[in-house]
Structure 1
Amino acid sequence: MSSMEKRQAAGLPKYARIRQMNCGGYDRKRVHEILDAGFVAHCGFVHEDRPMVIPMAYARIGDKIYIHGASTTRIIKDNSVGVPASLAVTLVDGLVVARSAFHHSMNYRCAIVHGTARLVEDSQEQIDALAAITDHLLPGRWDECREMMPKEHKATGVLVLDIEHASIKIRTGGPVDDQEDLGTDIWAGVIPMVNALGQPLPAPDVPEGTPVPASVPAARQKLG
């Protein structure tokens, strides 16, 4: 039995093939870690025979990824019946600066997912998905907000992408320079990049003294 057949027999997602394994892998746990740490997924689909890529907020529940948008947008209304789709989430950890422009790179973690996207029809699943997307950005924020109104539910469409194939690409470490360039006086190294939340700025109509909600420090803790 092949590794793909073993995955299918075990009920695991099928994983896409990677040509260069030095930066890639198929570890589902790592896929989930990257998806859970990211904020923006670039979602790809075909519209009128043309490829489209749109950045969207998202959330993962098990082996399903949920995205949402206005019910009238093409990514929602044109993909309601179930269509092939993909998305990628990338976390940039640093700029890799080499002595040659040819060897410049980035340290990053990327999860690439392929599957079938379909419209969420069940009202409770839609609510659970919207809560998950909200809490993915600010943990606990859904319960801090007022309840959604029926017209807001009607105006919102949710797509679920079943993870059928997934892979990761990761780069770590310093520059890989040519041997003859080592020891020269051209600076080389890694410039770390970090995500951070700034000081919350209240809306002008928020009453003075209103405390910052608990979801904000929770989001900071999530970022580490």
Structure 2
Amino acid sequence: MAAADLPSTPPLSSTPRTRITRLRERGRTDRQALHDLLADGLVAHVGVVREGRPVVVPSAYAVDPQGPDEAGSLYLHGSVGAGWLGRMDGAEVCVTVTELDGLVLARSAFHHSMNYRSAVVLGRARLVTDAAERLRALDAVVDQVVPGRAATLRPMTRKELAATVVLAVPLAEASVKERAGDAGDDDEDVAAGTWAGTLPLRRACDGVVSNPDSHDRVPDDVRRRAAHWA
């Protein structure tokens, strides 16, 4: 689902775990900011406690703002071979997504920063067992990478489905923080005449590279995605 098509939802509600305590002016209270960021992102980092130790793993993900969990569902997937993933049903997890928009180069080391958009989602993971919801979630993960691609692929086999774990995390408890703009230097550093500025960053695509054994034309959905980041 495109960011522009996301349904209207209540604002982000601060909880003791999501309350921003430093640089509160960078926090966003509109839930649409969360939806927009999650729609833009490609990789989530999932924090869990495994055998008494913290572990953070990267994962592809997808979001359904109208999913069955409170305030919508964030879906994660992984291999059954990673046995701990299947044991996360009911466990507390922390999911973060960050988009880096620029490097902020100040006149002092203290004021160096980054322009970014970041989201933190906290919640109790739910193992998705309903067959229809599992298929929707896995299609959504593919479409998060290339919108519309899932509809062009063959159906997943029973063996593939059996080898895949799908988790859902409610979007109810989340925070969004953003920074944009120039360096915030001290007046005396500005007066000293030292250079300061930013290095804007963006995701870019260097074109489509077909597999040597791929003889079909590049699909339209792939062309559109490449053009989006050209």
Q: Deviations over 1:116-171 (max 9, x none)?
A: 11111011100000000000100111112122111001111100111231111101
Match of 2:20 in 1: 18
Cα distance in 1 between the residues matched to 2:149 and 2:11: 32
Change (3 A) 1:13 1:107: closer
Match of 1:215 in 2: 221
Match of 1:134 in 2: 142
Say if 1:66 and 1:158, in contact at 8 Å, map to a contact too. yes
Say if 1:44 and 1:52, in contact at 8 Å, map to a contact too. yes
Match of 1:160 among 168, 182, 186: 168
Cα distance in 2 between the residues matched to 1:211 and 1:148: 23
Matches within 5 A, 1:78-89: 78-80=87-89, 82-89=90-97
Say if 1:27 and 1:167, in contact at 8 Å, map to a contact too. no
TM-score (normalizing by structure 2)? 0.86
Q: Which residues of structure 2 form unaligned runs of 5+? A: 1-8, 66-71
How big is the shift at 1:84? 0.9
TM-score (normalizing by structure 1)? 0.88
Cα distance in 2 between the residues matched to 1:121 and 1:37: 27
Match of 2:5 in 1: none
DSSP 3-state at the match of 1:29: helix
Cα distance in 2 between the residues matched to 1:89 and 1:111: 5
Cα distance in 2 between the residues matched to 1:24 and 1:14: 12
Cα distance in 1 between the residues matched to 2:220 and 2:74: 25
Cα distance in 2 between the residues matched to 1:12 and 1:193: 29
Q: Which residues of structure 1 form unaligned runs of 5+? A: 1-9
Cα distance in 1 between the residues matched to 2:10 and 2:111: 41
